[in-house]
């Protein structure tokens, strides 16, 4: 499911949609008033929300068992380092100006402040054929991904994903591509079924792999041949160290088949500030010739009133020369964390993927089950990771390790890991 997953590009998440034929399993006995409004029973089919709650539950249990040990959390990928002052000063100045007649701003454009859209094009797309009018500023990539139905959950909620099969751990209507070391983290496209939408995340979460130029050329070609739309998630592009493309639009022809979604969260530490963007090229058309950008614009205007203007002021500061330099120094800090942790896992004789182009390590523990490895690491080192199987059936035998963290925490984790013996 991870790395390369495809799903039908269909309606957005639902709140309610009756499907009376499905079974309902009540989670608890509740009291209240039964309306006559039917529940959307597709909600029953959601699975992966058990992952992080399950991890939290095991952490709590662990803390009870070892009340004096300090747990180190390398699970959820949450940024930890302060935002550089050049960026927060700009946000602070903007908010203070909101108290003046000259500086006050009410509604902005739903698509975002044009100055910011221009700066995004200049910084991230340079000479590539991306126009400022094709950039839609968002409150983070998750929201736009959901508007585009590109994640599994959105498809499940609307009923497009089909039933969940316990035996395979897969939804019926989603095409899963197993990507791992055996295929250089890229699927064999000659064996891949056609879908309307191809969701592709590079550098990838959880594997940390960045697709090569050649792989992306194949992908664009595949989408073109099949008449598919690629939804390309490049939220970790700033972490790329080698010559892998940082944008899908570096591939000729991609503007005709790809939407790109990105975010300030992991570059600028904006996970809580909330800011991202989506590029929908003019050249991308539905089968009837209608431009996708027109409908996306309409969805944005109907369902979203624009990102917070304070966050947008911060984003603009991020893209100033000083801001960009400061941002990248934080990225470098996390990359050094990645080096430290990768070296620690490698010292155990394990194959470590990712980390070079992404803030995640994808650690292979051949022959072991992900949850067992998770449990053993927690038991022996008091470190929280994420079992790879939580990301999909192809993640078995792996664990994901985030490299966001204060340096002293990462060094302490490294020390603990080096004394670990996995059985």
Per CB under 8 A, contacts with a copy of itself among 63-102 are 76, 78-85, 87-89, 91-92, 95-96, 98-101
Judged by CB, which is closer to a copy of itself: 101, or 366? 101
The answer to whether 69 and 395 have CB atoms below 8 angstroms apart is: no
**423 near a copy of itself, judged by CB under 8 A:** no
Q: What track of x and - describes contact with a copy of itself for positions 122 through 161 (by CB under 8 A)? A: -----------------xx-xx--xxxx-x-xx--xx---
Q: How far is the CB of 88 from a copy of itself (least distance, A)?
A: 5
Residues between 205 and 244 with contacts to a copy of itself, criterion CB under 8 A: 223-224, 226-229
Q: Strand 351-354's sheet: what is its strand order?
A: 351-354, 360-364, 398-402, 386-387
Q: Which of 54, 59, 217, 256 binds a copy of itself (CB under 8 A)?
A: 256
Say which residues have a Cβ less than 8 Å from residue 132's Cβ, sequence separation at least 6.
Answer: 114, 117, 118, 120, 121
Q: Of the listed pieces 31-39, 56-64, 124-132, 364-372, which binds a copy of itself according to CB under 8 A?
A: 31-39
Q: Which of 257, 331, 361, 399 binds a copy of itself (CB under 8 A)?
A: 257
Structure tokens belonging to residue 53 = 């709650």
**11 near a copy of itself, judged by CB under 8 A:** yes
Q: Which residues pair with 171 in a beta bridge?
A: 164
Judged by CB, which is closer to a copy of itself: 30, or 421? 30
**50 near a copy of itself, judged by CB under 8 A:** no
The answer to whether 201 and 207 have CB atoms below 8 angstroms apart is: no
Q: Which of 21, 27, 242, 321 binds a copy of itself (CB under 8 A)?
A: 27
Q: Which of 21, 182, 190, 287 binds a copy of itself (CB under 8 A)?
A: 287
The answer to whether 209 and 185 have CB atoms below 8 angstroms apart is: yes
The answer to whether 384 and 53 have CB atoms below 8 angstroms apart is: no
**284 near a copy of itself, judged by CB under 8 A:** yes
**60 near a copy of itself, judged by CB under 8 A:** no
Judged by CB, which is closer to a copy of itself: 145, or 401? 145
Judged by CB, which is closer to a copy of itself: 35, or 68? 35
Residues between 299 and 358 with contacts to a copy of itself, criterion CB under 8 A: 299, 301-311, 314
The answer to whether 244 and 214 have CB atoms below 8 angstroms apart is: no
Alpha helix stretches (DSSP H) within 347-398: 370-381
- Phi/psi of residue 216, nearest 5 degrees: -70, -35
Q: Which residues pair with 136 in a beta bridge?
A: 278
Judged by CB, which is closer to a copy of itself: 51, or 348? 51
Interface size with a copy of itself, residues (CB under 8 A): 110
Three-state DSSP state, 18: strand
Q: How many CB atoms lie within 10 A of CB 357?
A: 24
CA-based radius of gyration for the chain: 22
Q: Which residues pair with 261 in a beta bridge?
A: 233, 278
Judged by CB, which is closer to a copy of itself: 96, or 122? 96
């Amino acid at each position: 499911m991870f790395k390369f997953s495809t799903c039908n590009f269909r309606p957005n998440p639902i709140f309610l949609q009756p499907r009376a034929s499905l079974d309902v399993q009540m989670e608890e006995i509740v009291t209240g008033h039964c309306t006559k409004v039917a529940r959307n029973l597709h909600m029953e089919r959601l699975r992966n929300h058990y992952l992080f709650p399950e991890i939290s539950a095991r952490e709590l249990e662990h803390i009870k068992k070892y009340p004096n040990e300090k747990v180190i959390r390398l699970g959820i990928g949450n940024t930890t380092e302060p935002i550089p002052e050049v960026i927060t000063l700009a946000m602070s100045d903007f908010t203070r100006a909101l108290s003046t007649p000259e500086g006050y701003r009410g509604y902005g454009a739903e698509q975002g402040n044009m100055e910011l859209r221009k700066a995004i094009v200049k910084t991230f797309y340079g000479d590539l054929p991306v126009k400022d009018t094709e950039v839609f500023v968002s409150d983070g990539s998750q929201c736009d991904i959901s508007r585009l139905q590109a994640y599994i959950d959105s498809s499940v909620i609307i009923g497009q994903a089909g039933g969940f099969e316990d035996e395979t751990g897969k939804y019926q209507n989603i095409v899963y591509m197993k990507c791992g070391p055996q295929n250089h983290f890229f699927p064999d496209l000659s064996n891949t079924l056609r879908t309307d939408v191809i969701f592709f995340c590079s550098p990838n979460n959880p594997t940390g792999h960045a697709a090569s130029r050649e792989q992306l050329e194949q992908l664009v070609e595949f989408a073109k041949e099949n008449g598919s739309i690629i939804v390309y998630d490049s939220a970790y592009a700033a972490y790329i160290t080698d010559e892998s493309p940082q944008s899908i639009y570096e591939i000729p022809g991609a503007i005709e088949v790809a939407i790109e979604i990105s975010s300030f969260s992991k570059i600028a530490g904006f996970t809580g500030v909330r800011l991202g963007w989506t590029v929908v090229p003019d050249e991308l058309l539905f089968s009837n010739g209608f431009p996708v950008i027109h409908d996306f614009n309409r969805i944005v205007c109907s369902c979203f009133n624009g990102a917070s203007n304070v966050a947008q002021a911060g984003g603009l500061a991020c893209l100033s020369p000083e801001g960009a330099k400061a941002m990248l120094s934080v990225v470098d800090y996390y990359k050094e964390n990645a080096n430290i942790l990768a070296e620690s896992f490698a010292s155990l004789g394990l194959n470590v993927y990712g980390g070079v182009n992404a803030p995640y390590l994808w650690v292979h523990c051949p022959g072991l089950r992900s949850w067992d490895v998770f449990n053993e690491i927690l038991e022996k080192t008091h470190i929280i990771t994420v079992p790879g199987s939580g990301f999909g059936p192809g993640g078995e035998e792996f664990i994901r390790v985030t490299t966001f963290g204060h340096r002293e925490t990462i060094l302490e984790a490294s020390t603990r890991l080096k004394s670990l013996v996995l059985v």
